[in-house]
Amino acid sequence: MDSLSEGRSPALLAETTAGSDYVFASERLDATDLSGRQISHSTFVNLSFLEGKIQHSKFVNCIFIDCYFRKAEINASAFVGCRFVDCNFDFSTIRNSDFKYSKFRRTVLPFRDMQFSAPSEPNLRRDLFHELSRSADGVGDVDSARSYRLAAIEATNLHLWAGVKAQSTWYAEHFPIDRRISAGLTLIWHYVNRALWQHGESAWRLLRSALIAVFGLFPLLLFAGRGAAGSHVGYGESMWLSASNFLLLDRLSDVGVGSTYLRVVSATEALSGIVFAGLFVTLVVKALLRR
């Protein structure tokens, strides 16, 4: 704490509307309307903003430690390059505000509001959501962490799309042709990952993907090679063979795989089954670790 307040003068926030290099400590500002504050490079410690209002204000490179923002209303304000440590934003309302370049530790901001107050630039939006996701994980808020994590991934997709299409001068300068190709490949993988198991967040989507693979995709591939396996093999037998391959159980199907084509498809499906099993185990472990 001494290192964060060194060289800064003690002051009362209730009496300070503008300035820099202050220390505001142990001040109760419950139900107080703080409008038009312009403060930078300052430290806020153990302040209570319970049911208070922070409007049309700007804080730059400030640090907030153990500050209580419960049920506070934050409107049209900016917290640029600020740090929030062990702060409470339970039931707070955030509108039209900017938290660009800010960092958070053991502090959770309401996702329902932050999704509309995040920066419009996709890369900055991604960084902010990623930061808030890690902070929410740090306090065990699983739901908020998941919401922010998925929002960060979607912001990443927007960032990659903007790079591929060179949507602005900045993207045109920072995404030469080789980086555009790399961004495009990464974007394809992101969409595949989302369709497969929602980036490791949905067991139901992973189960759906497995069912589609076992009873849709691979049976079609196996049915396409029915001539090599014998003309009597129908789509129903292809599904049983697919399930046998995926689950690595020989007794589910009596269909032989004598051709090279069927062997390749069967081996590919068996490998897919192992991969899907590993993904399910990953989801279970993640769920246990978050408890």
What DSSP string describes 82-99?
A: -EEES-B-TT-EEES-B-
Q: Compute the average pLDDT of residues 172-193.
A: 93
pLDDT at 163 over 70: yes
- Return phi, psi of residue 168, to 5°: -140, 170
Listed in sequence order, the residues at least 6 apart from 279 whose beta carbon sits closer than 8 Å to its beta carbon are 196, 197, 200, 206
Query: Which pLDDT score is estimated for 67?
Result: 97
Kindly state the tokens that stand for 260: 């090279």
pLDDT in tens, 53-91: 999 999 999 999 999 999 999 999 999 999 999 999 999
Whether residue 128 contacts residue 118, with contact meaning beta carbons closer than 8 Å, is answered with yes
Tell me if the pTM is above 0.85. no
Report, as an integer, the average pLDDT of 94-122. Answer: 94
Which CATH entry fits the domain spanning 1-117: 1.10.260.40, 3.90.79.10, 2.160.20.80, 3.40.50.10190? 2.160.20.80
260-289 and 203-212 are packed helices; what angle lies between their axes, rounded to 10 degrees?
170
- 265-291 pLDDT, tens digit per residue, is 999 999 999 999 999 999 888 878 766
pLDDT of 250 higher than 80: no
Per-residue pLDDT, averaged over 233-238, amounts to 80
Distance CA(233)–CA(230), nearest Å, equals 6
Averaged pLDDT, 242-262: 81
Question: What does pLDDT average to over the chain?
Answer: 90
Q: H helices then E strands: how many in the chain?
A: 11, 14
| pLDDT at site 232 | 60
- Which of 222, 227, 213 is closest to 274 using CA atoms? 213
